[in-house]
Amino acid sequence: MRIVAIAAAVPQGRLVNGEFGLSDEDRRKYEENTGILARHVVKDAPLTTLDLCEAAARSALNAAGWGAQDVDGVILVTQTPEYLLPASACILQKRLMLGKTVVAFDVNLGCSGYTYGLILAQSLLQCGVVHRCLLAVGDVMSRHIDQVGDRFLFGDAGAATLLDNEGPTQVRATCWGTDGTGAPYLIIPAGGQRSRVGLTCRDPSPPPCLRMDGAQVFVFALQRAVPAVKQLLKETGWTPEDVTAVVFHQASRFILDNVARRCKIAMERVPLSLDHFGNTSSASIPLTMVVRMADQLRTSRSRLLLVGFGVGWSWSGVAIETQGVSVAPLVELSGTPTQGLGHG
Amino acid sequence: MAVSKQEFCRALARALNEKPRDITEDVALTDVTGWDSVGQLSVIACIDELFGKTVNVDKLRSCETIGDIIALFIEDIQ
């Protein structure tokens, strides 16, 4: 598998910490801990995750010089889909006017979703089911946040990565894992069959909101992200100094500082986008690659460790050696390009 | 690496952004200003760094005094 192109899209709306009404001392404390100064959020714009993913996909296709008919696989990773059903990937097939023989499906994962998506795409490409794959990832979490502390953390974003099977594989190692005992600690406990708030036709309830236990998330990160990095280094035979960058899911600065310390990875090798974009769920790894590593990825051979971890608990990692990736400029969306089902 | 009780208390004080003299075994956590959600994260990181151990969050939250935190890691303290 080869990474051909990568693109990301965020809403134009921006939210800075001064807008939360906290005291200066509390604000400084949060900023020091999270490393987040601002984030892009949809605010009142009628934008959805699918809109952001579509914009990123168009940008990536343009950067790669691929036509719509070139894509024969679509993996869309999101926890904030367009509808309960149908799958957003099906609507994306229509919006992008991809061929009707395309394989298209959604994957319900968050922070680990990008690297899971890469592993899935690799499997589809390797077995010949798919030859050119669009991996779209993203979430609009800001509509599911009601606690000030969590509003500091999350931004909205979508990203698209184009993958094919030309030449030798760039993937050097993969790892993954799941521990459902973590489900209560990072959850929107409604909207599905178990708790149907917001699901019935006459229910006037606002959208269900995220519940997060930050301490449990931190302990999970130490227990799972650290071994994931060590496993990837062991399987590749790379030392921390051999690695161009370790692109972590952008959980929070505090978590990444401690995970990197435990992995003996210098923070100079850990690019961060959370300062201006916050924690953007499954989009955070590709968004970081677009806004912090574009020149490196375009011009140089890069040894990357990509590591996602979070909601589930779920974690996954990919060691990949890229070269000549087409990186599209960041897209900022002000409105919705195609509303609803995109008729017409 | 084993650390002394005093060293552990000093490390907890740094994590909680408190003066070392204010962090002793008998101090109630409800009287520690820094014992909030951010302070708890710092304590978890401090323990990870000192002992190479990840904390059981539920046990940590059940602690009522600094002494209760010390008791969780007594086998690692000289």
**CATH number of the CATH domain containing B26:** 1.10.1200.10
Are B44 and A218 in contact (CB < 8 Å)?
Answer: yes
Chain position carrying tokens 């923070």: A267
Positions of chain A with pLDDT under 70:
148-149, 196-207, 336-344
A175-192 burial code (b ≥16 CB/10 A, e <16): bebeeeebeebbebebbe
> What distance lies between CA A140 and its chain's CA centroid?
11
Look at strands A2-11 and A331-333 and give their pairing: parallel
> Which chain A residues contact residue B54 at CB under 8 A?
219, 222-223
Chain position carrying tokens 């904390």: B55
Q: Indicate if the alpha-carbon torsion angle A332, A74, A304, A115 is positive or negative.
A: positive
| Helices A49-64, A88-95: crossing angle, 10 deg rounding | 50
Q: What is the structure's pLDDT at A19?
A: 81
Q: Would residue A279 show up in a list of annotated catalytic residues for this protein? A: yes
Q: What is the structure's pLDDT at A344?
A: 34
Q: What is the structure's pLDDT at A305?
A: 98
Q: What is the structure's pLDDT at A53?
A: 98
Q: Which domain holds residue B51?
A: 5-76
**Extended strands (E) in chain A:** 2-11, 14-16, 38-40, 73-77, 103-107, 132-139, 157-164, 171-178, 186-187, 211-212, 245-248, 302-310, 314-322, 326-327, 331-333
Given a contact cutoff of 8 angstroms between Cβ atoms, the answer to whether A120 and A75 are in contact is yes
Q: What is the structure's pLDDT at B78?
A: 76
ipTM above 0.85, yes or no: yes
The 3 state secondary structure assigned to B14-70 is HHHCCCHHHCCCCCEHHHCCCCCHHHHHHHHHHHHHHHCCCCCHHHHHCCCEHHHHH
Cis-peptide into A313, omega within 30 deg: yes
N residues, chain A? 344
Is the Cβ of A222 closer than 8 Å to some Cβ of chain B?
yes
In chain B, the number of structural domains is: 1
Tokens in use for B19? 């003066």
Are B41 and A215 in contact (CB < 8 Å)?
Answer: yes
Q: What is the structure's pLDDT at A199?
A: 60
DSSP A64-103: HT--GGG--EEEEE-SS-SSSSS-HHHHHHHHTT--TT-E
Positions of chain B with pLDDT under 50:
none
Q: What is the structure's pLDDT at A158?
A: 98
From the number of C-beta atoms within 10 Å of its C-beta (0-12, 13-18, 19+), residue A261 rates as middle
> Which chain B residues contact residue A218 at CB under 8 A?
41, 44-45
User: Which letter does DSSP use for residue A207 in this model?
Assistant: P
Closest CA to B33 of B48, B44, B47, B19: B19
From the number of C-beta atoms within 10 Å of its C-beta (0-12, 13-18, 19+), residue A97 rates as exposed
Could you count the other beta carbons within 10 Å of the beta carbon of residue A59?
A: 23
Of A33, A213, A222, the CB nearest to B54: A222
Q: Would residue A165 show up in a list of annotated catalytic residues for this protein? A: no
Determine which one of A17, A40, A53, A111 is catalytic.
Answer: A111
- Tens of pLDDT, residue by residue over A16-59, are 988 878 888 888 888 988 999 999 999 889 999 999 999 999 99
Tell me which chain B residue has its CA closest to the CA of residue A216: B57
